[in-house]
Structure 1
Amino acid sequence: MNLPSTMRAALITAPHTIEHQEVPLPEVGPDDVLIQVELAGVCGTDAHLLEGHFHAKLPLIPGHEIVGKVVALGGNVRGFSEGQRVVLDPDLNCGTCIMCQKGMRHQCLHYEAVGVTRAGGFAEYVVAPSNVVYDASDLAPEEAVFAEPLGCVAWGITRLKPEPGSTALLYGAGGIGLLLMQALKASGVSEIAVVDTQTERLNLARKLGADHTFLASEADEQIKALFPHGFDIVTEATGVAKVQQHMVQHAIPGGKILVFGVAPEDVTIEVSPYEIFRKDLTVLGSFSLNSTIPLALRWLRSGQVKVRDLITDTLPLSGLSEAIDQKIAARAGSIKAIVSPTLILEGAPS
């Protein structure tokens, strides 16, 4: 395949600044795969990077939720072919530090990530080591683009270990929340209640399998009336500290609390240690993903997790700033924005 020497890319050049530039095509090392990006999802992490937080090394091409087609292979790479649709696990690790040796590769002491510390998918092409590339040839790009965020959900589920027949309460019905809700159902939860501030999101949650939905302004009394003893699992996908502080009161004795949303780094909450002690609660965190792309792909292939209805905005590269602004503002009606570099190539309006 004849490849160009340059490509279009969206770069964060300084905090709160995105520039669209023509940059050199990434070099392909002996163990690398060069991928032509079909779609890249917009994530809250991209908003943090735009603010100059979360490992940001600027200038940076962000974008870590990537699906595309293989266009070139390094000399040592086996098992892939040109034209094959693939997805990425963006987390890269050294393999030798104490965290990697413990099996916590996403906590690598030498953490690197595609689209976070090195060039990512908001570009026409992206390069990645072949050992973090996975086949997705049997999925549509609109499904495969969810492999990375669903991989993060899969790590949360792996940490949580839901028991068959358990009940769950979930705060937040945005894109990640609706993935988490479906994954809980796929993992044995028999009854799940969802809380959100937007009626449109709650309607979609019902469509995708929620058993009960509650507007946040009315939730507490209604929840206590239906589930007076609490839930086996209480989790959230909001990143809102007040919500995270609130979860303990709805956990049944012996229950589990999963903090999944990303709160600001400098925020703290007040939780009664006596309540955790008295109710025999387990409190868990879940950061990123940890070799969980295969589980995410199984959920997508089986249809246990449905994702097409989550896409509400498909934008060209020039729409990246708009997509991140929508993410920050949690615009009503917006669930998941994805960026398609091919919209520019095909001459779509910018």
Structure 2
Amino acid sequence: MHAALITAPHTIEYQEVSIPEPQAGEVRIRVHLAGVCGTDAHLLEGHFQAKLPLIPGHEIVGYIDALGSGVRGFTEGQRVVLDPDLNCGTCIMCQKGMRHQCLHYEAIGVTRAGGFAEYVVAPSSVVYDASDLDPEMAVFAEPLGCVAWGITRLRPEPGSTALLYGAGGIGLLLMQALLASGVSEITVVDPQTARLELARKLGAKHVLQASAETGGQLRDLYPHGFDVVTEATGVPRVQQGMIDQAIAGGKILVFGVAPEEAKIEVSPYDIFRKDLSILGSFSLNATIPLALKWMRSGQVKTSELITDTVPLGQLHEAIRQKIIASPESIKATVALL
């Protein structure tokens, strides 16, 4: 089968590799679309302790091609999505219900062969039916599942206000999920006017183009601050300024992936004095069903988020656009059918 492999930092090779065989309890999926994620960019740059060579790709929609022994509830040809996180089920973190923090963590497309190939195998326990969703929508199941875990951690109050930095693909998913989960008014900040226009179309009450005046503009809109402040940028400078925009008793969700070595300065007094809650959100945690529910109900719309669909041979360029944060690209997918 055709596959894209990261063979060394900054190097992708396109190779013919053996079609994987599903073992007991596994299914083989013929990949239709695979989304390009910031994690793929980090892996290509040699981060996350990537074990190379690796077939990346963890945002996957496709069709069941073969069933391993003991698999029930699925049929060949069925459209499915998958949760790439794999866990042992027995370590202390799995027992605490934090399966995505498994001490023996593995992930499809991160530590084992993923979806930038014609076929991928996965345990049937992490596969979900998506027969009723278009592939172009279903491919968002995994990133929206990550958003769903952030929302589960955050638990926004009904009628609350929110500030979101970043209106890329994941930011626009996060914005819609906040609105679907109790937030009544959301303000979005981003450098790109086209992305802000889409944010407004998808439900943002206020949109602001990032500039030196942004802080003052936000205080004019909400003098006491926002109930929820979050970001989908991974930019430490942005994350550092979030405390200033939170109302007393507010919640701050660090959602974007900052560089591993990044440090920021915060005021512990401000956290204490303002009764602030600061939360992180890593990956997803059995939240694909909530993501699918949002898409099926129309609460989260994805039809305008895919701006680029490329063949497998152009994966390197698609990831490069992710690294440089091309303003023209919101979400790229790789088509394998």
Common fold: TM-score over 0.5? yes
Aligned twin of 1:99: 93
- How far is 1:19 from its partner? 0.4
Indicate which of 40, 43, 46 corresponds to 1:49.
Answer: 43
User: How far apart in 2 are the matches of 1:202 and 1:261?
Assistant: 18
Aligned twin of 1:237: 232
Q: Trace 1:117-136 onto structure 2 (pairs within 5 A).
A: 117-136=111-130
Helix, strand or coil for the counterpart of 2:122?
strand
Q: Trace 1:19-58 onto structure 2 (pairs within 5 A).
A: 19-58=13-52
Helix, strand or coil for the counterpart of 1:24?
coil
- How far is 1:222 from its partner? 1.2
Helix, strand or coil for the counterpart of 1:143?
helix
C-alpha distance after superposition, 1:235-278 (max 9, x if no partner) = 00000000000000010000000000000010100000000000
C-alpha distance after superposition, 1:4-46 (max 9, x if no partner) = xxx0000001110000000000121011000000000000000
Gaps of 5+ in 2: none
User: How far apart in 2 are the matches of 1:97 and 1:307?
Assistant: 36
User: How far apart in 1 are the matches of 2:196 and 2:300?
Assistant: 17
- How far is 1:84 from its partner? 0.3
Helix, strand or coil for the counterpart of 1:225?
helix
Q: Does 1:150 align with 2:176?
A: no
C-alpha distance after superposition, 1:177-206 (max 9, x if no partner) = 000000000001000000001001100100
Q: Does 1:86 align with 2:45?
A: no
- How far is 1:327 from its partner? 0.4
Q: Does 1:170 align with 2:174?
A: no
- How far is 1:341 from its partner? 1.4
C-alpha distance after superposition, 1:290-345 (max 9, x if no partner) = 00000000001011000110000000001101110100111112100000112xxx
Helix, strand or coil for the counterpart of 1:33?
strand
Helix, strand or coil for the counterpart of 1:54?
coil
Given residue 185 of structure 2, which amino acid in structure 1 is its aligned partner? E
Aligned twin of 2:177: 183
User: How far apart in 2 are the matches of 1:79 and 1:141?
Assistant: 20
Q: Does 1:11 align with 2:11?
A: no
Gaps of 5+ in 1: 1-6, 343-350
Helix, strand or coil for the counterpart of 1:110?
coil
Given residue 299 of structure 1, which amino acid in structure 2 is its aligned partner? W
Count of residues in correspondence between the two structures? 336
Q: Give the alignment's TM-score, normalised by structure 2.
A: 0.99
User: How far apart in 1 are the matches of 2:7 and 2:218?
Assistant: 46
Aligned twin of 2:103: 109
Given residue 89 of structure 1, which amino acid in structure 2 is its aligned partner? D
User: How far apart in 2 are the matches of 1:146 and 1:54?
Assistant: 22
- How far is 1:55 from its partner? 3.3
- How far is 1:51 from its partner? 1.0
Following TM superposition, where does structure 1 have runs of at least 4 consecutive aligned residues deviating by more than 6 angstroms? none
Aligned twin of 1:273: 268
Given residue 312 of structure 2, which amino acid in structure 1 is its aligned partner? L
Given residue 291 of structure 2, which amino acid in structure 1 is its aligned partner? A
Aligned twin of 2:308: 313
Helix, strand or coil for the counterpart of 2:261?
coil
User: How far apart in 2 are the matches of 1:75 and 1:264?
Assistant: 42
Q: Does 1:138 align with 2:132?
A: yes
- How far is 1:221 from its partner? 1.5
Indicate which of 278, 281, 289 corresponds to 2:284.
Answer: 289
Q: Does 1:324 align with 2:319?
A: yes
Pick which of 278-287 and 217-226 moved more.
217-226
Given residue 208 of structure 1, which amino acid in structure 2 is its aligned partner? L
User: How far apart in 2 are the matches of 1:272 and 1:96?
Assistant: 38
User: How far apart in 1 are the matches of 2:51 and 2:34?
Assistant: 20
Indicate which of 207, 210, 219 corresponds to 2:214.
Answer: 219
C-alpha distance after superposition, 1:122-177 (max 9, x if no partner) = 00010000000000000000000000000000000000000000000000000000
User: How far apart in 1 are the matches of 2:264 and 2:47?
Assistant: 21
User: How far apart in 1 are the matches of 2:325 and 2:303?
Assistant: 19
Helix, strand or coil for the counterpart of 2:301?
coil
Helix, strand or coil for the counterpart of 2:183?
coil
User: How far apart in 2 are the matches of 1:155 and 1:85?
Assistant: 24
8 Å CA contact 1:42, 1:65 repeated in 2: yes
Aligned twin of 1:345: none
- How far is 1:110 from its partner? 0.2
User: How far apart in 2 are the matches of 1:223 and 1:134?
Assistant: 41
Indicate which of 43, 51, 60 corresponds to 1:66.
Answer: 60
User: How far apart in 2 are the matches of 1:321 and 1:257?
Assistant: 34
Q: Trace 1:190-229 onto structure 2 (pairs within 5 A).
A: 190-217=184-211, 218-229=213-224
C-alpha distance after superposition, 1:203-240 (max 9, x if no partner) = 01001111100011032121111100000000000000
Helix, strand or coil for the counterpart of 1:11?
strand
8 Å CA contact 1:55, 1:116 repeated in 2: no
Helix, strand or coil for the counterpart of 1:180?
helix
